[in-house]
Amino acid sequence: MKVSERIQRMKESSTLAVAARAAALKKEGADVVAFGTGEPDFDTPSNIKEAAERALQAGQTKYVSTPGTVEARAAVAAKLHGENGIACKPEHVAITAGAKHALYLTLQTLIDVGDDMVLPTPAWVSYRPLIELAGGRCIEVAGTMEQGFKVTPAQLAAAMTPRTVAVILNSPSNPCGIAYTEAEIRELCEVIAAHPRAVLISDEIYEKLVYPEVDPGLRHFSPGSIPAMAERTITLNGLSKAFAMTGWRIGYVCAPGGNGTFMQELIKLQGQMTNNIPAFFMPAIVEAFSSRSAPQVEAMRVAFARRAAVVAELVRAIPRFRSVRPNGAFYSFPSIAACKGLTSPGGRRIEDAQTFAEALLLEAHVAVVPGGDFGACAADHIRITFATDEATLRKGMARIAEFTAALR
């Protein structure tokens, strides 16, 4: 059967591919430690589940307004206003099938063929394929490990041209596990503000996972709260990470600019594509943003902060790895460059992160994501997800240490 050229050209999601591979090996009976997918191991807080159950039983099973109910959009807007300082009204919000769908809708609504999108890398694997699917050119700006996985204002300024329609910022970052400081974000925004045509897409899906335990005083900062950026920032977020709700597929996008025109056009696309996400999730969204969930969100954050410390120590103890200490999200992104050219106990030659991850999975039964699809500057890195309990974390890290030490 025919397949369009643009879909043939598109890469599959390597994070999901690693997850599928690990699951298949597990099914065959292998004791695989999965450090692949970025997905909290916790269950969704019960008050949120109960809100959805009640709505389902009460018959909230019909179509609702495409971008979500008035109540759910108001809850998102109130959250963005109260917690993030973004001047957002309910009509600036669309609730989507995960933040991934919010990103897709945003890029399709924003990009014309040949437009430039500036992407600080290493960056999540789905940005480039979705930019290119929309017809955009992805301009990578390398935030290398040596510079703490952060791009500088000078680098950003050099990458921006009159053709630049947007910059994507993801802080805290997947795959780097680092958060920019407020001062750093303000400096980057000054560069963007000098280009009147460019908007900032701020992917804040990991906002609740910031660790002042690692960097005292560190806190999440939303660029959409800067007055000069208020009309030029599209904020993406969702419930997947903060509330351990990956399987529910609930994301949202907020675009206050242009008298709401951008959002109206985005909702037009959503209406032709998916309509609303499940109607009985709407009260669960309202519940998630209520004060009842906050202690549970904080308890998960504290657990992730502890794991971040454990993984940082275990990664540092591997002589052939070099890394930056994570202070956000649930990823460590060490360089395996010192392993290149060596051979594994099973006879596999390590050429890059791809061959390293392949040998590690087959010989040591630990799944990690190779860095290549996170950007050109990430080809020698692997992503270790620490969204798993401490015992599993220690078991997997011990295997990685042993495998890495045995390379000859």
CB closer to ligand PMP, 37 vs 354? 37
Q: What is the DSSP string of 23-61?
A: HHHHHTT---EE--S---SSPPPHHHHHHHHHHHHTT--
* Residue position matching structure tokens 């390379």: 407
* Range list of β-strands (E), 143-258: 164-170, 199-203, 233-238, 251-254
List the single partner that 204 binds among ligand GLU, ligand PMP, none, CB under 5 to 8 Å by kind: none
Which residue's C-beta sits nearest to ligand GLU?
Answer: 38
CB closer to ligand GLU, 13 vs 60? 13
The answer to whether 174 contacts ligand PMP (rule: CB under 6 A) is yes
CB closer to ligand PMP, 96 vs 225? 96
The answer to whether 120 contacts ligand PMP (rule: CB under 6 A) is no
- Let me know: does 83 contact 223? Beta carbons within 8 Å: no
CB closer to ligand GLU, 124 vs 403? 124
Among candidate residues 66, 97, 105, 104, the one with its CA nearest the CA of residue 271: 66
The least distance separating ligand GLU from the CB of residue 97, rounded to whole angstroms, comes to: 12
Q: What is the DSSP letter of 372?
A: G
The residues that bridge with 369 in the sheet, in sequence order, are 383
List the structure tokens of 407: 């390379």
List the single partner that 170 binds among ligand GLU, ligand PMP, none, CB under 5 to 8 Å by kind: ligand PMP
| Phi then psi dihedrals of residue 383, to 5 deg | -100, 125
List the structure tokens of 338: 């010192």
Q: How far is CA 165 from CA 115, 136, 159, 161, in A?
A: 6, 9, 12, 9
List the single partner that 238 binds among ligand PMP, ligand GLU, none, CB under 5 to 8 Å by kind: ligand PMP
CB closer to ligand GLU, 95 vs 123? 123
Binding ligand PMP (rule: CB under 6 A), the pick from 35, 104, 124, 280 is 124
The residues in 200-259 that bind ligand PMP, with binding defined as CB under 6 A, are 203, 205, 238, 240, 246, 251
Distance CA 30, CA 364 (A): 10
Distance CA 370, CA 14 (A): 8
* Range list of β-strands (E), 212-364: 233-238, 251-254, 331-332
Binding mask 367-396 for ligand PMP (x = CB under 6 A): ------------------------------
- Let me know: does 113 contact 266? Beta carbons within 8 Å: no
List the single partner that 356 binds among ligand GLU, ligand PMP, none, CB under 5 to 8 Å by kind: none
List the single partner that 37 binds among ligand PMP, ligand GLU, none, CB under 5 to 8 Å by kind: ligand GLU
CB closer to ligand PMP, 84 vs 246? 246
The answer to whether 100 contacts ligand PMP (rule: CB under 6 A) is yes
CB closer to ligand PMP, 148 vs 260? 148
The residues that bridge with 166 in the sheet, in sequence order, are 117, 199
CB closer to ligand GLU, 43 vs 112? 43
Which residues here bind ligand GLU, judged by CB under 6 A?
A: 13, 15-16, 37-39, 100, 124-126, 174
The least distance separating ligand PMP from the CB of residue 246, rounded to whole angstroms, comes to: 5
List the structure tokens of 150: 């952060």
* Residue position matching structure tokens 């999440």: 220
The least distance separating ligand PMP from the CB of residue 141, rounded to whole angstroms, comes to: 16
* Residues in contact with ligand PMP by the rule CB under 6 A: 38, 98-100, 124, 170, 174, 203, 205, 238, 240, 246, 251
